[in-house]
DNA sequence: TTGTAAGCGTTATCAT
DNA sequence: ATGATAACGCTTACAA
């Protein structure tokens, strides 16, 4: 009944006589003993840990990604750590250090960031710091970093999604199509705007800067912005919205102006959030496989999946009643 | 430059000369060194860990509770572990053991369970097992266990919420009020049904069992059930729904039957999920402070908050257009 | 102010 | 089949 023997019992080693085995198990049960996984982990043994870091945990998009990642991590008996930065780079940096101290298998960094090299450099620094403790960094729901091929990422086709939406609106006869919800210098709005521009370009239509509207990414910010946009004499006949939440704000604005959807103005959202199919009229939107993004992120993180640096999942235009 | 000195530097011990301190820091920075938090944790030092366990991570209810708990845990520099059981008691038990191995400060067990003593006994067993490793168990979004006062819980007033909803419908003149979405032997449906019964009782109305309808807790299950309920010659004039998701199913059923809401049938939901205020008509529902439930759960878990065994947060009836 | 030595709970190695 | 010992990376008396 030595420590070694006990250890062997819990590790299911074959070389331990059933009798002693039972004796150990009985004693353990008696004392309420469970192995100290921290001691195991300290030696690089035992379960692995996957961390998920996002700016916020609000809305179904991040929650779905996190849930997808969690399902993969937990399914294999690993641990899943969740933390938010509140959009604060300093907190993000601190968090990254803290996580490094826990020797995770991987850190998934989720969501939109500032565009440009500053973030990319930060990400490279994170990736290197994590690599120094044997951990991987995987960007999820974030476009690939073209500069640094070493940064793994799992993304979804935002550009293509909006591009198809614009194509759909053009096919429906629309020529004055606005984009609502721009947030400057952020990757997700930038990608979706790019899809809008490419969609117009495909149709040989010019990009009219007065139809690209900046507003907060919430229903009320969108409502206010839409109110002014839709009050213009030359108002657009169709609106592509950054998110479904923005689209909801547009619904409210249209209603208060007495405009019919899609008769007076067609609306397209993005994300396919729950319930938007039950709005009146049902919202046309772009469905994003957020759960799967999380799943693939975790799989890449744990080395369960082939990856060539970047995975991009398809999005799907869901045509409902709010567009022709 | 011994290990001890280095340790002192990272622990911000005062008794270390600035010169050596800098030397250590420089060396650390050079090597990309960070303390091994697992070694610290093994000795019961360093950050604490809060675990959150739910059956699923789908929908905004669990996600909001988890997010609230995460915000508290992370704010204090602790770690937040998230895991799901998939509603499988065996997985739940395994998970509890696994978590125990990691010596968390507390485990939050979230959501509805089977009613009755079986769960209560399980919870007591969990609580004891966790206590043996210095961890607390806190039930969140689950009614208090009357039998075992030792089990901490943070809940919200489901009974009162539905009771007020019924009162509101009665005040609006309704007499035939149905309850849709019963799932037998589960705490959350049981609580909400109890609120329905009490509401009727308050008004001196009998509980008509033929108006208490069982169905799956999703829009489509509800749609099918509502279709048959609303096709009855003596159909109810108002429906209290287990959740907003169920209410959405009822909306679809009413629409396909050509029934007006609230003209032909009034609807009340539960949860105040995002966007339900933007349905047509806007859904009357009961708002639940899920985020706050998570917050209080984590606070109780970490001993940051006075508790006398059970905390119950209020719910709020939000009257919108779907009810008189 | 700094260093030495012991101990935390494991597991791997090498006996026995 | 079992046990003793070293090692993992850290902290904390206790010395120096």
For residue B115, the model assigns a pLDDT of 93
B23 touches strand C (CB under 7 A): no
Q: Any idea which residue has 């699923």 for tokens?
A: B56
Q: How far is A229 from chain B (nearest CA, A)?
A: 21
> Which is nearest to A16 in space by CA: A7, A29, A37, A33?
A7
Q: What are phi and psi of A271, to 5 degrees?
A: 125, -30
Asked whether the beta carbons of residue B98 and residue A37 sit closer than 8 angstroms, the reply is yes
Q: Which residues pair with B186 in a beta bridge?
A: B114
A59 neighbourhood in chain B, CB within 8 Å: 274
On average, the pLDDT of chain B sits at 95
Of all residues in chain A, the one with the smallest CA distance to B57 is: A67
Asked whether the beta carbons of residue A274 and residue B276 sit closer than 8 angstroms, the reply is no
For residue A12, the model assigns a pLDDT of 87
Kindly tell me if the per-residue pLDDT of A226 is higher than 90: yes
For residue A58, the model assigns a pLDDT of 86
Q: What secondary structure letter does DSSP report for A193?
A: H
How many Å does it take to go from CA B306 to C1' C10?
A: 37
Asked whether the beta carbons of residue B57 and residue A67 sit closer than 8 angstroms, the reply is yes
Nearest to A279 among B63, B83, B279 (CB): B279
Q: Which of B 36-65 have CB under 7 A of nucleic chain C?
A: 39, 42-43
8 Å CB contact between B126 and B137: yes
For chain B, give the number of residues. 324
B128 neighbourhood in chain A, CB within 8 Å: 32
Which of B104, B255, B278 would you mutate first to test chain A, the one with the most A CBs within 10 A?
B278
pLDDT digits (tens, 9 = 90+) for B157-180: 999 999 999 999 999 999 999 999
Asked whether the beta carbons of residue A273 and residue B273 sit closer than 8 angstroms, the reply is no
Nearest to A275 among B35, B132, B248 (CB): B248
How many Å does it take to go from CA A42 to C1' D14?
A: 27
Kindly tell me if the per-residue pLDDT of B247 is higher than 90: yes
A10 touches strand C (CB under 7 A): yes
Give the pairing type, strands B79-84 and B49-54.
Answer: parallel
Alpha carbon distance B3, A150 (integer Å):
34
Asked whether the beta carbons of residue B98 and residue A252 sit closer than 8 angstroms, the reply is no
Of all residues in chain B, the one with the smallest CA distance to A50 is: B81
Q: What are phi and psi of B292, to 5 degrees?
A: -65, -35
Alpha carbon distance B56, B51 (integer Å):
14
8 Å CB contact between B115 and B185: yes
Q: Which residue is nearest to nucleotide C3 (CA to C1')?
A: B2
For residue B149, the model assigns a pLDDT of 80
A74 neighbourhood in chain B, CB within 8 Å: 83-84, 95
Asked whether the beta carbons of residue A57 and residue B66 sit closer than 8 angstroms, the reply is yes
pLDDT grade for B146, boundaries at 50, 70 and 90: confident
A36 touches strand C (CB under 7 A): yes
How many Å does it take to go from CA B7 to C1' C3?
A: 12
Asked whether the beta carbons of residue B35 and residue A133 sit closer than 8 angstroms, the reply is no
Of A136-140, A189-193, B7-11, B178-182, the one with minimum mean pLDDT is B7-11
8 Å CB contact between A24 and A9: yes
Q: How far is A68 from chain B (nearest CA, A)?
A: 9
How many Å does it take to go from CA A4 to C1' D4?
A: 9
Q: How far is B36 from chain A (nearest CA, A)?
A: 5
Strand D: which positions are within 7 A of a protein CB? Answer: 1-13
pLDDT grade for A150, boundaries at 50, 70 and 90: confident
pLDDT grade for A149, boundaries at 50, 70 and 90: confident
Asked whether the beta carbons of residue A81 and residue B80 sit closer than 8 angstroms, the reply is yes
Kindly tell me the sign of the dihedral angle through the C-alpha atoms of B123, B60, A159, A56: negative
For residue A76, the model assigns a pLDDT of 86
Which of B29, B31, B43, B67 would you mutate first to test chain A, the one with the most A CBs within 10 A?
B67
Of all residues in chain B, the one with the smallest CA distance to A246 is: B275
How many Å does it take to go from CA B153 to C1' C10?
A: 35
3-state secondary structure chain B: CCHHHHHHHHCCCCCCCHHHHHHHHHHHHHHCCCCCHHHHHHCCCCCCEEEEEECCCCHHHHHHHHHHHHHHHHHCCCEEEEEECCCCHHHHHHHHHHHHHCCCCEEEEECCCECCHHHHHHHHHHHHHHHHCCCEEEEECCCCCCCCCCCEEEEECHHHHHHHHHHHHHHCCCCCEEEEEECCCEHHHHHHHHHHHHHHHHCCCCCCHHHEEECCCCHHHHHHHHHHHHHCCCCCCEEEECCHHHHHHHHHHHHHHCCCCCCCCEEECCECCCCHHHCCCCCEEEECCHHHHHHHHHHHHCCCCCCCCEEEECCEEECCCCCC
Domains of chain B: 3-35 (no CATH), 49-156+290-314 (3.40.50.2300), 158-287 (3.40.50.2300)
pLDDT digits (tens, 9 = 90+) for B11-63: 888 888 988 888 888 888 888 899 999 999 999 999 999 999 999 998 899 99
Asked whether the beta carbons of residue B133 and residue A101 sit closer than 8 angstroms, the reply is no
Of all residues in chain A, the one with the smallest CA distance to B66 is: A57
Q: How far is A96 from chain B (nearest CA, A)?
A: 11
pLDDT grade for A19, boundaries at 50, 70 and 90: confident
SS3 A19: helix
For residue B269, the model assigns a pLDDT of 98
């Amino acid at each position: 009944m030595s420590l070694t023997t006990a250890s062997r019992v819990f590790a299911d080693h074959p070389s331990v006589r059933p009798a002693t085995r039972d004796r150990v198990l009985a004693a353990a049960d008696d004392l309420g003993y469970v192995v100290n996984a921290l001691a195991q982990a300290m030696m690089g043994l035992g379960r692995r840990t996957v961390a998920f870091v996002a700016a916020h945990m609000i809305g179904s998009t991040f929650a779905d990604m996190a849930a997808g990642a969690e399902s993969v991590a937990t399914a294999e008996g690993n641990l899943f750590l969740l933390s938010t930065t509140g959009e604060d780079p300093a907190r993000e940096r601190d968090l990254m250090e803290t996580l490094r101290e826990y020797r995770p298998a991987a850190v998934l960094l989720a969501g939109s960031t500032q565009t440009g090299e500053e973030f990319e450099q930060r990400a490279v620094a994170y990736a290197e710091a994590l690599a120094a403790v044997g951990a991987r960094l995987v960007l999820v729901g974030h476009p690939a970093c073209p500069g640094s091929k070493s940064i793994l990422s799992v993304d979804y086709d935002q550009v293509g999604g909006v591009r198809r939406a614009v194509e759909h609106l053009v096919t429906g006869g629309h020529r004055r199509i606005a984009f609502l919800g721009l947030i400057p210098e952020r990757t997700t709005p930038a990608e979706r705007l790019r899809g809008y521009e490419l969609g117009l370009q495909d149709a040989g239509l010019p990009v009219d800067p007065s139809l690209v509207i900046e507003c907060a990414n919430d229903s009320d910010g969108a409502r206010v912005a839409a109110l002014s946009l839709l009050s213009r004499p030359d108002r657009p006949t169709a609106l592509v919205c950054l998110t479904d939440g923005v689209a909801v704000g547009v619904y409210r604005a249209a209603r208060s102006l007495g405009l019919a959807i899609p008769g007076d103005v067609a609306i397209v959202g993005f994300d396919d959030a729950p319930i938007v199919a039950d709005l009146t009229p049902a919202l046309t939107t772009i469905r994003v496989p957020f759960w799967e993004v999380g799943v693939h992120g975790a799989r890449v993180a744990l080395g369960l999946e082939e990856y060539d640096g970047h995975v991009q999942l398809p999005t799907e235009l869901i045509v409902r009643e709010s567009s022709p």
